Structure 1
């Protein structure tokens, strides 16, 4: 997968936030786009162990989080802190656009 350019990411940010008024509505817009465009589930490593990202959620005061599972254990991790998987899922470029928007 080719890494999107800054211009590509900026266009994606504009698309996700097109009808939003303010940062909270932009966050809601991004969550909707991420939920629609990122293929779930996918596997990544957190602290050296494989975890399965089962869903993406919007948490009040917490932003967008990845709902991760390893066996019977589950944990929500901020999407901004999620490591890039060795095999990024389809739609990962939208997570990169979200990271650019958040910083």
Structure 2
């Protein structure tokens, strides 16, 4: 799937945040869309190391993070910083929408 244009991303953000009154609620709406639509697990390379992305979560500080693992090691990586594989997993357009919203 190619990169979506600004209008498509904004339409997705509107869909995710339709009932949201503040930034926290918008963030929760976007997280929900990511949890529902992002096809996990998928593998990607972080600093040249292959990791498995098992899901997404929200930190107490209000960042959406990817829950990554490699063997027995678990690490959360801010989804804004997460490199995506090619081809990107199904639902990755929601990461683009979140990045657009956060930007």
Give the shorter-chain TM-score range. Answer: over 0.9
Alpha carbons 1:66, 1:77 under 8 Å: kept: yes
Q: TM-score, normalised by structure 1?
A: 0.96
Secondary structure at the residue paired with 2:67? strand
How many residues of Structure 1 are paired with residues of Structure 2 in the alignment? 103
Consecutive unaligned residues in structure 1, runs of 5 or more: none
Residues 67-78 of structure 1 mapped to structure 2, 5 A cutoff: 67-78=67-78
Shift of the alpha carbon at 1:89?
Answer: 0.4
Superposition misfits of 4+ residues, deviation over 3 angstroms: none
Consecutive unaligned residues in structure 2, runs of 5 or more: none
Secondary structure at the residue paired with 1:89? coil
Q: TM-score, normalised by structure 2?
A: 0.96
CA RMSD of aligned residues (A): 0.9
Q: Which of the two has greater helix per residue?
A: 1
Q: Which residue of 2 aligns with 1:45?
A: 45
Q: Which residue of 2 aligns with 1:66?
A: 66
